[in-house]
Chain A
Amino acid sequence: MEPLIDEAFLRRLANLKFIVKGRRKGKLAGTHPSPRAGTSVEFADYRDYSPGDDFRYIDWNLLGRLDRVLVKTFVHEADRPIYLLVDLSASMRLGDPPKARYAARFAAAIAYVGLRELDRVGLYPFCDRLLSAIPPRHGMGQMNHILRALQDVAPAGTTSLDRTIGDFLSASRESGLVFLVSDLLSRSGYQEGIARLLHRGDDIVVVQVVDPQELHPQMEGTFEIREVESGRSMELVVGRRTLAQYERRLGLFLDEMTAFFSGHRIPHFLVPTDLPVERLIHERLRAGGVLQ
């Protein structure tokens, strides 16, 4: 099978960085500013001297001018875990290329950017439950684990986003940057799960991968419309008017979704699979303020 990402693609990802909003606590030293004071070169503030403080940080000029013993504090730089929640339910095998393949390629690219940024990156594939997760870790060795897991994905099962996110929150105690990659074309709902993520303090980026045929179906005639996850089907004579109604209904659904995400200030990207992953990353994600 064709590799998910090639060397040329990786080279083009080399200069990308995540845009960090606010300061988040991090367990380990990293490149993102932390609310804690630390030992970086970036000055943060002054505070009164307390016994035990390092004499080297006392500002002797201010002591001379103000006759107050003040200590300089600096910005603490911490890492931030990046969670890749990739939908591998049966509906993700639709399309050409399959949506799952597209999602895997995108997730691999984000993992690479994160690991280069010295962040910990974890992979959480799911359908109606979490599948074999790869907990967040540093280093390019982690990249190999993630690539191996994404290389031969076999989508199957139904989708249950709310339940999956509940499982995810139990599995990962630390908040971070969550990339949710799914087609989100399910009546089972996503709002509750997203709300729980927000509650924990995660930054969320939603990448909704859809097949162009799902956005604008090109079909005419009698069809057995079959739901790929449940196997349910219905007979329908499809014509121009039917398709127009379908697109109208889809538009409403997507508008509702967009309103929800924008209401929570969650970047949401509706991505057809005929859009190259490189363009998604370099154009859409940069324009959307996720990467720089």
Chain B
Amino acid sequence: MTLVAPTALYLLLAGGAILLLYFLRTRSRRHEVSDLFLWDGLPSEPRSRAARIRQRLEPLLLLQLLVLTLVSVALAGPAMRVARPHLAGMAVVLDGSASMRSRARDGTVRYELARQAALDLLRRYPGSPVVVVQFSSAPSVLSSFSEDHADALRAVSTSAPTFLADGTAAQLRVLLESQGGAGRFDRIFWLGDHRLGGAIPNLEETLFPPDENLAVTAFNVRQNPDGSGSTAFVRLVNHGASYREGNAKVSDGVRAAVLSFVLAPGREEAYVLPLPGSLGPVFVASLDTKDGFPDDDVRYFTFPALIERRIRWIGEENRYLLAALQVAGPVALLASDDPSAADLVVACGTTVPAETTGNALLVHSGLAGLVEIGGDAEPGPLVVAAPDDPLLAQVDPSNFRVRASPSVALDEEVRVILALGSQPFLCRYADVRRRIVFVAPDLLETNLPLTVDFPLLVANILRSFSSSSDREATADVLVGEPIALGDYGRAVRLKGPRGEELPLPAGTETFVPPAPGVYTLSTDRGTFPVAANLDPAESFSPAESSVLTSPATAPETRKSALVGLWPYLAALALLALLAEDLLYRGATWRRSR
């Protein structure tokens, strides 16, 4: 054992002062008697030195000396050298995505389990340099690479899960590179609810399986073409092992539609709910059931109130397509034939001239030199050729049914996203002059307008036409995704889902919603509600048990380290002080009686 600051032992000399005070103090205790006549005249006894000391060495004095000794030794910093497991470098990666807010089967929040596991790891490898990362679609370093675990322990203890989506293994690799590279770490501990794809060396994964979960994974509303109200599309999924029943409610704050459902385990169902007389603009879909992840039991939707999209409509009318376009934002149909005046050309059941430039959505239409439409034929089975394409974000194409689809000849540059057997169903094309999205079948020969996925698909298509073409197209705003404030005008004020005022510094161009809900943005053009929802992928986590995978990892070494004993001594001193106080109060109480 060593002492870090042995000079603190000089404090023990104060014990002499305490003893001196005790022996110098003449004190007499009170003793009550019935009558003094038996005591009067009794000779006062001269006491021996031993008797005097025996009397003075009362428990209070001994406890005070003990407290002084313990405090002095604690301040001297006694430390013991012990051998402990050691890693040359370790990374503790906490999954901070929204799914970690859900509860495990024992009722504990999964992030809490991960946090406890992280704290255990930090205590298991004291002195090993560590970086602590909270990982999600927007990862953050909670404590940078350091041997001092105090910061790491504090950061882990105070961290909380976010509402963000999962991050990817590629993101993690980039993050670890910023901390000196993945090779720097003997062990990378992943504490989350899903396996990390991608080859990350020295990775040790601990997974926390979820409890039963019932979720609203998609929610969309479109205004009825005849203006009689709205129609809501809700998709529910049962990520549990048992049948679940309950009620789903869609409300605009005044009117509500309720749907009763029964969902088989692992089953996902889409429902259509009419909302007569309701024009929003804010809608909430919620479940009345209880499960381990209440955050995904509700989704929000608002009608976009962006700058009016000018559309030049060519060919046949299609009210369903027009309604879906209106769901994605205000629409103005142009009478002019001037293609340059339109933001988007929509063609239905016709052929568009080859010189068409800009954005074009071709539905059952051709474009000379790029897409040639033939006669309708029996469609083949639906094939998802490009499942990761942004046009299919949050869209489940398996719900699509097609009765008849034309034969199509495509330019080889056109990318097929969905196909019906060998024939294309949904394609996209882009060059410097134009961006084209092509839907082969006539919509009336499909069930698309009746599905929850159709407005999502149309919204994705419109996003793909936006000027920031490199941005992923999504049907609604996800938590963590930036909202371009400029699209709404000059921002003046922003309120959160509970009506709280959110800071909006001058010059702010984007706002990233940190939690799901309806945000209210006030600009010089008006007030706009903006819905932010959880990434639906967060609703599902593999239901496997807690697993620890240990691929080939660097061996664990042992390293001797000094362990400070002062906390134990301080605790003992505190106890002794408490005992001294209790003893004193007890004696005072007895005397008072």
Interface residue ranges, A against B (CB under 8 Å): 91, 94, 183, 185-187, 214, 217, 219-230, 232-239, 241-242, 245-246, 249-250, 253
Contacts of B31 in A (CB 8 A): 217, 219, 223-226
Q: Which stretch of B33-41, B207-215, B402-410 is in the interface?
A: B33-41
Q: Is the CB of A241 within 8 A of B45?
A: yes
Q: How far is B39's CA from A186's CA once the two chains are assembled, in angstroms?
A: 12
Residue of A nearest to B32 (CB): A228
Q: Are A227 and B38 in contact (CB under 8 A)?
A: no
B29 at the interface (CB under 8 A from A): yes
B30 touching A224, Cβ below 8 Å: yes
B35 touches A186 (CB 8 A): yes
**Structural contact, B34 and A91, CB atoms closer than 8 A:** yes
Chain B 529-547, CB-CB to A under 8 Å as 1, else 0, gives: 0000000000000000000
Taken together as a complex, chains A and B put the C-alpha atoms of A52 and B30 apart, in Å, by 75
State in angstroms the CA–CA spacing of A41 and B44 once bound together: 68
Q: Are B34 and A185 in contact (CB under 8 A)?
A: yes
Q: Given the complex of chains A and B, what is the CA–CA distance between A225 and B44 in angstroms?
A: 12
Asked if B555 is an interface residue, CB under 8 A from chain A, the answer is no
B26 within 8 A of partner (CB): yes
Closest 6 CB pairs of A and B: A91-B34, A239-B45, A185-B34, A222-B28, A187-B37, A227-B36
Interface size on B, residues (CB 8 A): 23
Q: What would be 23 A-B contacts, judged by CB atoms less than 8 Å apart?
A: A91-B33, A94-B32, A186-B34, A186-B35, A187-B35, A187-B37, A220-B51, A220-B55, A221-B55, A222-B28, A223-B29, A225-B33, A225-B39, A226-B30, A226-B31, A227-B33, A228-B34, A230-B36, A232-B36, A234-B36, A234-B40, A239-B51, A246-B42
Q: Is the CB of B28 within 8 A of A235?
A: yes
Instruction: Tell me whether B33 and A228 are in contact (CB under 8 A).
Output: yes
A237 touching B45 by the CB < 8 A rule? yes
Nearest CB of chain A from residue B142's CB, rounded to whole Å: 61
- The answer to whether the Cβ of B198 comes within 8 Å of any Cβ in the partner chain is no
Tell me if B27 counts as interface (CB < 8 A to partner A).
Answer: yes
Which residues of chain A are within 8 angstroms of B51 by Cβ–Cβ distance? 220, 239
Point out the residues of chain B lying under 8 angstroms from A241, CB to CB.
43, 45
New A-B contacts (19) at CB < 8 Å, excluding given A185-B33, A236-B39: A94-B34, A183-B34, A185-B35, A186-B35, A187-B35, A214-B33, A214-B34, A222-B27, A223-B28, A224-B30, A226-B30, A234-B40, A237-B45, A238-B45, A241-B43, A242-B43, A245-B42, A245-B43, A246-B39
Known: A222-B28, A242-B43. A229 touches B35 (CB 8 A): yes
Chain A CB within 10 Å, residue with most, of B29, B33, B45: B33
Q: Shortest CB–CB separation between residue B469 and chain A, in angstroms?
A: 89
Query: Shortest distance in angstroms between B341's beta carbon and chain A's nearest beta carbon?
Result: 99
B46 on the A face (CB < 8 A) = yes
- Tell me which of B42, B46, B47, B51 has the highest count of chain A C-beta atoms within 10 A of its own C-beta: B42
Minimal beta-carbon separation of A88 from chain B (angstroms): 13
Q: What residues of A have a CB within 8 angstroms of the CB of B47 in the complex? A: 237, 239
Which B residues touch A214, using CB under 8 A? 33-34
Distance from A155 Cβ to chain B, minimum over Cβ atoms (Å): 11
CB pair B33 A242 closer than 8 Å = no
Nearest chain A CB to B506 CB, angstrom units = 75
CB under 8 Å from chain A, chain B span 5-49: 26-40, 42-47
Query: Chain A residues near B40 (CB, 8 Å)?
Result: 234
Contacts of B35 in A (CB 8 A): 91, 185-187, 227, 229
B29: chain A residues at CB < 8 Å are 221-224
Determine the distance from Cα of A222 to Cα of B36 in the docked complex, in whole angstroms. Answer: 16
Smallest CB–CB gap between B587 and chain A, Å? Answer: 13
| Residues of the B chain whose Cβ atoms lie less than 8 Å from the Cβ of A246 | 38-39, 42
Known contacts A224-B29, A237-B45, A241-B45; is-contact A229 B39 (Cβ 8 Å): no
A217: chain B residues within 8 A (beta carbon): 31
Once bound together, how far apart are the Cα atoms of A236 and B55, in whole Å?
15
Q: How far is A217 from B32 in the complex, measured between Cα atoms in Å? A: 11
Chain B residues closer than 8 Å to A238, beta-carbon distance? 45
Measured between beta carbons, the chain B residues less than 8 angstroms from A94 are: 32-34
Q: How far is the CA of A230 from the CA of B39 in the complex (A)?
A: 14
Closest to A92 in B: B34
Chain B's closest residue to A240 (CB) is B45
Q: How far is the CB of A90 from chain B (nearest CB, A)?
A: 9
Bound together, the chains give a CA A203 to CA B151 distance in angstroms of 88
Within 8 Å CB of B38, what residues of A?
185, 246, 249-250, 253
Q: How far is the CB of B44 from chain A (nearest CB, A)?
A: 5
